[in-house]
Structure 1
Amino acid sequence: MSPPRQPGIPHPRLPLPEGEEDLVAFQRWLEAAIPMVEALGITRMSQANGALTWQLALTPNLNDKGTGFGGALSAQATLQGWCWVTLWLRQQGRAQDVVVAEASQRFLAPVMGDYRMTCAPSHPDGPSQLAAKLSERGKGSIELTHQLYCGDLLCLEATGRYAVLPNA
């Protein structure tokens, strides 16, 4: 086990991938870099067709009513967006910092069992627009959409704008 994180001290970056990203290694790094991640119940990450999908366990995210705690679901959506942008940057060979600029959620139905959450660009041209901004100015942002499903039931929709900061 690594020593606990200390405020004000950045966690070392994960080396850029040579080829396809190892999402298991990325998740292990993420759990070390952001201590609360280990408690969020992420059981699997996958990427396909421009989307990042997580499988999640409900048990660590229960509220007092026995359903999904809204704060945990919001945190998961925010983190997933950060991961989507970070993984996209890594695929572009870029190691830049990402921050959430704004986020909103709509809770549509209670989460009553294990669930999956997907994250993808809100607009099909979002990644190409971000790439152009990064090329021109070294910084940019992208809007992402999250959907949380419990079985086939859509329980949460969220959007977030994530900013890529210029290199120091």
Structure 2
Amino acid sequence: MSQPRQPGVPYPRLPLPETQEDLAAFQQWLGEAIPMVGALGLQRMTQGTAQEGGALTWQLALSPNLNDKGTGFGGALTAQTTLQGWCWVTLWLRAHGRAQDVVVAEARQRFLAPVTGNYRIICAPSDPQGPAQLAEKLNARGKGSIALTQQLYCGDTLCLEASGRYAVLPVA
């Protein structure tokens, strides 16, 4: 059993993958590194190939994210989309052999319909050239940022659109 997290103490990084990322191991590490992850109802994550745009998809349970009306709580949904963007960038960096910190620089949400059942969130670059542009910035300056878009679906209904810019910090 791991020690409880302490404020001001960074959590140890997960070693970079030697081949393909083990998303189950990453999800377990994520829950230890960021304690609130355990309360978000994240059931499973999958990631498409770079040729498919590298979309990161999360399957989530509604029950831990209910509001007083019996639908998805906006604050929880916002936290999930923001965290998922952070994960997308972190996984992208790991796939490129880079151990750098990621921070959220900007985030926006637009709520379109109530979330009434279990749901999925899909995160992908806002611009198909975003990953290549990020790689160029990292190679030239050691830092950069990328814009991502998240879409939350309950069944076939698009309930939330979110977008954010995530900054990759230079190695300290």
TM-score by length of 1: 0.99
Q: How is 1:15-164 mapped onto 2 (pairs within 5 angstroms)?
A: 15-48=15-48, 49=52, 50-164=54-168
Shift of 1:78: 0.4
CA RMSD of aligned residues (A): 0.4
Shift of 1:68: 0.1
Letter of the structure 1 residue corresponding to residue 19 of structure 2: G
- Which segments of 5 or more consecutive residues in structure 2 lack a partner in the other structure? none
Shift of 1:3: 1.2
Separation in 2 of the partners of 1:124 and 1:34?
29
Shift of 1:156: 0.1
TM-score by length of 2: 0.97
Separation in 1 of the partners of 2:3 and 2:98?
28
Separation in 2 of the partners of 1:112 and 1:2?
35
Q: Does the residue aligned with 2:110 lie in a helix, a strand or coil?
A: strand
After superposition, the C-alpha distances for 1:21-62 in whole angstroms (9 at most, x for unaligned) are 000000000000000001100000000121000000000000
Separation in 2 of the partners of 1:60 and 1:111?
13
Separation in 1 of the partners of 2:32 and 2:42?
14
Separation in 2 of the partners of 1:3 and 1:165?
27
- Which segments of 5 or more consecutive residues in structure 1 lack a partner in the other structure? none
Letter of the structure 1 residue corresponding to residue 157 of structure 2: L
Shift of 1:131: 0.1
Q: Does the residue aligned with 2:170 lie in a helix, a strand or coil?
A: coil
Equivalent pairs, count: 168
Q: Does the residue aligned with 1:100 lie in a helix, a strand or coil?
A: strand
Q: Does the residue aligned with 2:161 lie in a helix, a strand or coil?
A: strand
